[in-house]
C-alpha cells in the first residue's frame, strides 16, 4: 500500500503537470469508412468529355498487365487491394497481414451485398487494357503504376467478382453496369479518369457516355 504522504505528493505532482500541459484532448474517434472518391459533377464531366481526343483505339501490341504494376504497398503491410477493401467496406476487420477477414461490401455495379473478401474484386474504373488502347501504351512504368493504384480519384472500386469479370476491359459502349441507377456515377468517374490521365475515347464510347450522363438528376 502506498503511504498517505506519498499519495498526496503524487497528486500534487499530477496537478502541477496538468497546469503546465493544459487540458488533454481526447484522440479523435475512428472515421467511418468512405467509398470511392466522388467524381466531379455531371456538368464538369460533360465539359471534360468534350475536351477528350476522339480517335480509334491504339494497337494492343506489347500489352501486358505486368506493365501496370499492382497492387503496390500503401503502408502498414497493406497493399492497394486491401486498402480499397477497407475503404469501401463496412465493419471490415483485418488480420496481422492486413488481409480482410470479415466485413460486408455493396457492389454498385449489380447492387449485390457481398459478405466475404473472396467475393470482391477491385475494379479499375478505366481498365488497364483500355487505358493501353487509349494512350497508356506510350507511358512510363511509373505513370502506369500510378494509374493502376490511384486512390486519390474515382479509379478503384470494390465490386462483385462476377460484375468485374463480365466487364473485362470493355468501354461503356460495350459494357455498362446492370444497375442503371449507377450509370450517372459510372460515367462521371470514367470520364474524369480519362481526362485526368489524358486518355482518348472512341466515338461510340463518347456517345454512350453522353447517354449515361443524361441519367444524372
Instruction: Quickly count: other Cβ atoms within 10 Å of residue 126's Cβ.
Output: 25
Query: Is pLDDT of 11 > 90?
Result: no
For the beta sheet containing 100-107, the strands, ordered from the edge strand earlier in sequence to the opposite edge, are: 90-94, 100-107, 112-114
Quick check: 24 pLDDT over 50?
no
pLDDT band at 4 (very low <50, low <70, confident <90, very high): very low
Instruction: Quote the Cα angle for 209-175-113, to 5°.
Output: 105
What 8-state DSSP symbol labels residue 90?
Answer: E
Name the band, by pLDDT with cuts 50, 70 and 90, for residue 217.
confident
pLDDT tens sequence across 131-147: 999 999 999 999 999 99
Are 72 and 80 in contact by the 8 Å Cβ rule? The answer is: yes
Give residue-wise pLDDT tens across range 155-195: 999 999 999 999 999 999 999 999 999 999 999 999 999 99
Question: In this model, does residue 19 exceed pLDDT 50?
Answer: no
**Tally of CA atoms within 13 A in the half-sphere of 201 that contains its CB:** 26
What φ, ψ does residue 20 adopt, rounded to 5°?
-75, -45
Contact at 8 Å (CB) between 205 and 172?
yes
What's the pTM? 0.84
Can you tell me the distance from the alpha carbon of 194 to that of 147, in angstroms, rounded to the nearest whole number? 11
How confident is the model over 86-110, as pLDDT tens digits? Answer: 999 999 999 999 999 999 999 999 9
Please say whether the beta carbons of 99 and 82 come within 8 A: yes
Amino acid at each position: 500500500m502506498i503511504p498517505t504522504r506519498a499519495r498526496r505528493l503524487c497528486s500534487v505532482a499530477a496537478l502541477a503537470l496538468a497546469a503546465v500541459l493544459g487540458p488533454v484532448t481526447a484522440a479523435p474517434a475512428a472515421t467511418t469508412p468512405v467509398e470511392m472518391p466522388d467524381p466531379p459533377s455531371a456538368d464538369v464531366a460533360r465539359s471534360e468529355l468534350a475536351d477528350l481526343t476522339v480517335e480509334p483505339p491504339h494497337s494492343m501490341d506489347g500489352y501486358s498487365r505486368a506493365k501496370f504494376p499492382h497492387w503496390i504497398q500503401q503502408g502498414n503491410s497493406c497493399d492497394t487491394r486491401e486498402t480499397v477493401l477497407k475503404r469501401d467496406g463496412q465493419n471490415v476487420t483485418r488480420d496481422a497481414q492486413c488481409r480482410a477477414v470479415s466485413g460486408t461490401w455493396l457492389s454498385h455495379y449489380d447492387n449485390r451485398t457481398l459478405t466475404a473478401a473472396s467475393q470482391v474484386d477491385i475494379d479499375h474504373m478505366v481498365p488497364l487494357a483500355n487505358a493501353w488502347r487509349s494512350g497508356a501504351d506510350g507511358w512510363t512504368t511509373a505513370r502506369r503504376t500510378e494509374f493502376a493504384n490511384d486512390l486519390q480519384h474515382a479509379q478503384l472500386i470494390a465490386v462483385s467478382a462476377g460484375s468485374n469479370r463480365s466487364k473485362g476491359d470493355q468501354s461503356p459502349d460495350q459494357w455498362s453496369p446492370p444497375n442503371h441507377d449507377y450509370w450517372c456515377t459510372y460515367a462521371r468517374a470514367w470520364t474524369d479518369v480519362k481526362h485526368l490521365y489524358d486518355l482518348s475515347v472512341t466515338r461510340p464510347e463518347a456517345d454512350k457516355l453522353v447517354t449515361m450522363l443524361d441519367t444524372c438528376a
